[in-house]
C-alpha cells in the first residue's frame, strides 16, 4: 500500500512540475513580434537542436514504455493462472520500468549539461528546448 502511495505521490509531483515547466516554456515559443506581425525565429543553436532531438527521442521511448506496459498487463490478465506467462509479464514490466528510469536519468543529465554549456557561453542559464 505504501509503495502505491509513494508512486502516486511521485507521479502527481512530476505532473505538477511538468505543468509548471510547460507554462514557462509557452512564454517563449520562438515567435517574435515585428511591426505587429508575428514571425517565426528559425535560427537555432546546436545546443537547442540537440535538446530538441533528445526530447523527441525520450517522447518516443515513453510511447514504447506505454506499449510494453500494456502488453505486459495483457499477458498477465490473460495468463489464466499459468505461472510461466505471469513471470514473463513481470519480467517485461520490470525491464520496461528500469529502461524508462535509465532514459529519464539520461535526459535529466543531458539537460543539465546543455544548460551548463549555455551558461558558460552566454553567461545565463537557459533550459534547452
Q: Give the tens place of pLDDT for each residue, 19-68.
A: 444 444 444 455 555 455 555 666 777 777 877 888 888 888 888 998 99
Q: pTM of the predicted model, to two decimals?
A: 0.54
Maximum distance among all Cα pairs of the chain, rounded to whole angstroms: 69
Domain boundaries defined on the chain: 1-43, 45-129
Q: Do 116 and 92 meet the contact criterion of CB atoms below 8 Å apart?
A: no
- Residue 108 has which C-alpha cell? 535529466
- Residue 44 has which C-alpha cell? 537555432
Please give the angle made by the CA atoms of 103, 95 and 87, to the nearest 5 degrees.
165
Amino acid at each position: 500500500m505504501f509503495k502505491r502511495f509513494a508512486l502516486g505521490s511521485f507521479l502527481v509531483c512530476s505532473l505538477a512540475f511538468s505543468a509548471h515547466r510547460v507554462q514557462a516554456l509557452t512564454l517563449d515559443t520562438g515567435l517574435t513580434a515585428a511591426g505587429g506581425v508575428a514571425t517565426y525565429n528559425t535560427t537555432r543553436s546546436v545546443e537547442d537542436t540537440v535538446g530538441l532531438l533528445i526530447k523527441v527521442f525520450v517522447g518516443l521511448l515513453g510511447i514504447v514504455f506505454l506499449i510494453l506496459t500494456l502488453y505486459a498487463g495483457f499477458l498477465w490478465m490473460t495468463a489464466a493462472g499459468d505461472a510461466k506467462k505471469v513471470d514473463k509479464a513481470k519480467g517485461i514490466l520490470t525491464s520496461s520500468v528500469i529502461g524508462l528510469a535509465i532514459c529519464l536519468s539520461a535526459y535529466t543529465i543531458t539537460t543539465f549539461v546543455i544548460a551548463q554549456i549555455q551558461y558558460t557561453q552566454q553567461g545565463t542559464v537557459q533550459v534547452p528546448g
